[in-house]
Structure 1
Amino acid sequence: MKPLKTVARRGAMITAAAASALILASCSAGQVTQTSSQVAAVDGASADSEDGTVAVRDVTIHVTDKGETGVKFTAINQDNSDATHTLKSVTIDGKPVTIKGETAIKSNCTLVADVPSEMKKLVEPKGACVTHVTTSTENPGFAFGGTKEVVFTFDNATVTTSATISTPVLESGMVDRETGAEKHHH
């Protein structure tokens, strides 16, 4: 009987942890706060080239409610030799992604990408070594929460990762939720 109790107790702890995570997440949703302009707490996938010269971070397949589809990512040139590397192509499950913008990445610089509607919200930092591009692709019916293989082909390396399919985070204050006085979840 003892092992059964342990399993049941562990299951209850996981459920409580998951429930409190959901409650905590819903507390700040829709609030105008200092953190309202920050990105989601869940990062996308990350991967490095075999030789470590290029890396991709926060790789997510974005599908907006208007059907706009693309890949959100940050590509980093971490080559110590001062070489400029160029992102040649991106594919999702073997299908090409259209990239608009300059994809050459100077040494110690980054390339930030997302669907056009999300990139419009960002301002390219002046003086920083950051370049913005937009990505778009046909949506064959991606399932939210699922994952697909994303392949980044650079001039010097190929980086493959499995990325989650998600919808961009809603801007704070953009969604009204009904709340009842008797149902306060904080």
Structure 2
Amino acid sequence: MEDVHVKSLKSAARRGAMISVAAASALALASCSAGQITQTSDQVAAVDGSEIDNANGTIALRDVTISLTEQGQAGVKFTAINQDNSNKEHVLKSITVDGTKATIDGDTKLASDCSIVGGIKAEMSRLTEPKSGCITHVITSVENKGLAVGGSKNVVFSFDSGDIALDATIAAPVLESGQHDRQVGGEHANHSH
């Protein structure tokens, strides 16, 4: 009679255990990040404007940016929202940029549930006054004392209810579509980066 090669129970159990461990490891590694918040999930573009609410939440400031034109004129771009639950009207008294007072051309009264949208003249001239709702447009300007695109400065909004301070990015205005050539090639084509 021939001897039949029989595997021991030990090696079969070992092989089964290794397969189980490998499958469990693959499953564990695949689910490592499932349901977790990634590090980049709450990052926003650096050029978006700053935002803040005052201490009691009655006034919200959104998209606060210091805008510069190609000619170096500066102004403050912002949206102020009256979210006071008591339906009280508020007034924007002034804006300062790094201690320099900005000029505000337009109505700065802020009725309940209304907004003021402000910016430099070049940007605001592209907007139309809404026919309904209560959104007011104002033009802002501030002396350019060495403001540089990419930096940031402290901006203080003074309302009848108090001051709201925040840091705002200094940015170039959005270029009008189809009006500017980005000069691909030319003198920059031979530069190595």
Bin of the TM-score, shorter chain as denominator length: 0.7 to 0.9
Q: Which has the higher contact order (CA 8 A, sep 6+)?
A: 1
Aligned residue for 1:104?
109
- 2:119 is matched with 114
- Contact 2:116–2:136 at 8 Å: present in 1 too? yes
- Alpha-carbon deviations, 1:86-136, whole Å to 9, x = none? 000100011100001000010010000001111000001111210000001
Where 1:118 maps in the other structure, the secondary structure is helix
Alignment CA distance shift 1:179-1:69 (3 Å): closer
Secondary structure in 1 aligned to 2:62?
strand
Report SS of the residue matched to 2:144: coil
1:178 deviation in Å?
A: 4.0
Q: Which ranges of structure 1 fall in alignment gaps of 5 or more residues?
A: 1-16, 18-39
| Local SS of the residue matching 2:122 | helix
Paired position in structure 2 for 1:91: 96
Give the TM-score of the pair, scaled to structure 1.
0.73
CA contact (8 A) 2:47 2:169 kept: no
* Separation in 2, partners of 1:101, 1:129: 14
Pairwise CA RMSD:
1.9
Give me the whole-angstrom Cα distance separating, in 1, the residues matched to 2:140 and 2:78.
10
Q: How many residues align?
A: 143
1:69 aligns with 2:74: yes
- The one-letter amino acid paired with 2:166 is T
Identity over aligned residues, as a percent? Answer: 55
Counterparts of 1:127 and 1:67 in 2: how far apart (Å)?
34
Q: Which residue identity lines up with residue 157 of structure 1 in the other structure?
A: G
TM-score (norm 2): 0.70
The residue correspondences of 1:143-162 to structure 2 (distance < 5 A) are 143-162=148-167
